[in-house]
Amino acid sequence: MKPETTQQQQATVAVVGLGSIGGVAAGCLAGAGRHRVVACVRNSVARLTLDLPDSTAELPLCSLTDPAQAEPADWVLLCTKTQDTPAVAPWLDRLCTPTTKVAVLQNGIDHVARVAPFAKGATGVPVIVYFNGERLAQDREAKLLHVRLRQGADQDLLAADDDAGRAFTQLFQGTPLRVGNSGDFVTAAWRKLLINAIASPITALTLQRQAVLRRPDIQELCHAILGEAITVGRAEGAKLGNDEATRAMAALFTFPPDAGTSMYFDRAAGRRLEHAALTGAIVAAGERHGIATPINRALLPLLAAISDAAGKS
């Protein structure tokens, strides 16, 4: 498909947060060579190594470490963890104008509402991330970063089927990432939340990668967590079928047993967890609708205690 405008062909794309998701997104866009990609990071990165499923790319990368250096961008890809959104307000203040599109590549629901207070009237574009990214290594002295892309399901990113969502899809044309559009983004977001609601807490609490999800007793726990989340999601307007739990488990099993989750990597690194946007979102929605969520509610303080301890270290 031919791009609609020259601006889309030569967009300036600022990637805020160069972790597992941002690193893969920046690498895929830089490798395609259609856009000017700028990474907004704490530590400067000059070269990025991107491990793809069938190859490895070595890519030069432009990075900024001070928001004062940033200029307005056509696109901002917000790839920080949900709990870190307020911390990137200085970046958004410099990068955003009313004509900017801010693609929110974060877990959970309510993507646009989470970012709107900091986006200066820019258009929020909620994006669901399905690919498994992993930050393998960083050499801060040499300004090198190494990330890996693992692809499991039949798509890697999903945006709404509207003008902004379709523009996001076009942004990634010619890259290894498979981007789709959904006419029912609420349902799609809840389906992704179902996956995160089991994989993230369990891998973080056990400090094991996704192999732990193959245990029969853990699978029984997963189905109980999902049962609560599905009931709440339906009350929130998601059109979730009777096979949603089976679908969520099947989606996880498309990734290899040694794949991690973002929450697993955060706990292993002693970082705060995004439990509030995952398990917390299910519990909060249950409270809004008067629906009991005892298992998710039991997991929440355990995750909060881990996160709070990391925040004090």
- Distance, CA of 114 to CA of 102 (rounded, Å): 12
Containing 311, the helix (H) or strand (E) segment is helix 294-312
> Hey, which residues are catalytic here?
192
- Segments of the chain assigned E as strands: 12-16, 36-40, 47-51, 56-60, 62-64, 75-78, 101-105, 123-129, 132-139, 144-150, 157-160, 179-182
In sequence order, what are the beta bridge partners of 240?
Answer: none
- Distance, CA of 34 to CA of 124 (rounded, Å): 22
Give alpha helix (H) positions in 89-243: 89-95, 111-115, 163-171, 185-206, 216-235
Contacts of 89 (CB under 8 A, 6+ apart): 118
71 burial type by CB count under 10 A (0-12 exposed, 13-18 middle, 19+ buried): exposed
